[in-house]
Structure 1
């Protein structure tokens, strides 16, 4: 089952994260309420985690059982090559933080488990480190709970989600939390166990979706939900990073997936759908591409403002992401599809 209209939302989330990692002198940060949204745009990663759980169920829900070896091989082949390419691009202009231990941590996807190491090297890779945990768990969850319609997983997921939200919001106001760019920050924001609730929430949302797939015009509801998300980011001083936004993201994913209104026609437009397809490449290489572009402009003695650099950077990033998608991600996906048919 393919839900074309949801694919474009991955691009929106990735672009929000890209902007949040750009220089804060960017013109978007001169607009008060808009700046508040992008300063908290790391919730885009939370959206990815929830959507990942949702799509995983959609992709596998017809299977009676998932084979561990085949699943791990398929996921590894689809996600790991670009993960490594992001690191290689990073090394073109940066060597800070390099040592053999950090390299082993990054390549093994273990960096997010160690506070103080989550952001080593190509730092967007911290979230892929968390995704590795999701992929490790999913066949077990599916075979033990989802395929057998075991209701206890709903209770387990609810307890994990609630516990995570209470801990996350009390932790950032406690004496243990020392602020951004500290080990305590990495423990509270990047530690993989604090993100399991997001993946589980996405899984359970997927289970509900496949049972009821009535399509209606939900354009107005989607717009209202998007506005609620933006207003929450601006005015509600809570820690949304570890899954709290599931209360908005899950209904949003549901409504977009079931919508047959004008927004679905727009989101399903091939260029927009394609932008979602390249969103993983865009996310994992956006920091190295930014470093390379800035180094190239400096070597060419161009003294552009951050606003001009941004206007150059976005199309360059999209182009490189499309090239990586076509040259690496898509061929591997096609190879895996052909193998699975046999």
Structure 2
């Protein structure tokens, strides 16, 4: 058995695990939640009404879509590791670079072009740490979403080792790492004056979400549990969706992001957030009812382009807000907001499709298998 285990979370069909449309649908959901979060920020900035009810927390705290992305990555990686058993680490990293780097580098170069007047040569190092300090990508809303990518790649670097140890020692190994992360979270709170932002965008605040996703995959691996999940998926889906909504309502009520630089609520928030999404994720991948064919294809396409959609939608929203302002075609606030959402979402979707076809997809075709098994690659969605 090879020393390394790994996985892939590519948005194009995987070469290392049979395609599952439910995963693409979850990617679409995560990207859409983040879009709605940024839309309401731009809308409020233009003078539009705020969503004040905690039950709108899935939108007002829609950064939770990032938590879903991170948890989903850990889940899919671990699924592939459990399936493949033997992975070539070099080929795994090669695929990860081909998956992420072309579009990420494009966004980084756009950011350094925008900030050319204040650019310093050492800013190039931020290519590996866009979530820390004063990264060029964080200087403008057009490229601001890129902060997650450096953090994601850090996980790619260490995941093969974590997967090996977890497969050798079982879930208790990941639980041990989570316990250590809890200690780091608690101790870091005592010495960081802006701990909310620390928990939001750093290793200390997000690494546990990858781990929880990995744990969810290991749970799903057990046949008896998987059978029960499939049998009870409809009501579990409703229950876990309710759980996520209640979590977001609690965050909106007690510790909304940006309201205070330091809040004890955030110490273990990422663990609770990720646990809620992991439960929803297990229910959704276990849900076997077929969606209407057209709706299914749309959601799957949304998942396929979600990387481009995530990185580009803020630019679309900002451009529209600067050029058009607060549109009032009907005079009814809710109707006008719905029209603006639909128009900006459609433009973001079209731009993301163009980006996927011209930047992402050609490089994705250069990937190769890094596991021992040859899988059926029939496209399901």
TM interval, shorter chain, is: 0.7 to 0.9
CA distance in 1 between partners of 2:49 and 2:287 (Å)? 31
The one of 360, 370, 374 equivalent to 1:329 is 360
Q: Aligned residue pairs: how many?
A: 323
The residue aligned with 2:200 is 189
- Partner deviation per Cα, 1:126-157 (whole Å, 9 max, x = no partner): 111110110010122223x1343455513323
The residue aligned with 2:280 is 252
Please say if residues 66 and 142 of structure 1, whose CA atoms lie closer than 8 Å, have aligned partners that are also in contact.
no
Give the TM-score normalised by structure 2.
0.73
Give the TM-score normalised by structure 1.
0.80
The reply to whether residue 137 of structure 1 matches residue 163 of structure 2 is no
CA distance in 2 between partners of 1:193 and 1:336 (Å)? 31
The residue aligned with 1:282 is 309
The reply to whether residue 15 of structure 1 matches residue 32 of structure 2 is yes
SS at 1:285 equivalent: helix
The residue aligned with 2:332 is none
CA distance in 2 between partners of 1:97 and 1:18 (Å)? 30
CA distance in 2 between partners of 1:56 and 1:176 (Å)? 32
Please say if residues 90 and 288 of structure 1, whose CA atoms lie closer than 8 Å, have aligned partners that are also in contact.
no
CA distance in 2 between partners of 1:266 and 1:150 (Å)? 39
SS at 2:177 equivalent: helix
CA separation of 1:187/1:96 partners in 2, compared to 1, >3 Å: closer, same or farther? farther
SS at 1:242 equivalent: helix
The one of 210, 213, 226 equivalent to 2:221 is 210
Please say if residues 161 and 243 of structure 1, whose CA atoms lie closer than 8 Å, have aligned partners that are also in contact.
no
CA separation of 1:207/1:322 partners in 2, compared to 1, >3 Å: closer, same or farther? same
SS at 1:162 equivalent: helix
Please say if residues 17 and 41 of structure 1, whose CA atoms lie closer than 8 Å, have aligned partners that are also in contact.
yes
How big is the shift at 1:89? 4.8
The residue aligned with 1:269 is 296
The 5 A counterparts of 1:107-146 are 107=127, 109-112=128-131, 114-117=132-135, 119-120=138-139, 122-143=143-164, 145-146=165-166
CA distance in 1 between partners of 2:170 and 2:295 (Å)? 34
The reply to whether residue 81 of structure 1 matches residue 102 of structure 2 is yes
Q: Which runs of 5+ in 1 are unaligned?
A: 179-183
The reply to whether residue 148 of structure 1 matches residue 168 of structure 2 is yes
CA separation of 1:9/1:151 partners in 2, compared to 1, >3 Å: closer, same or farther? closer
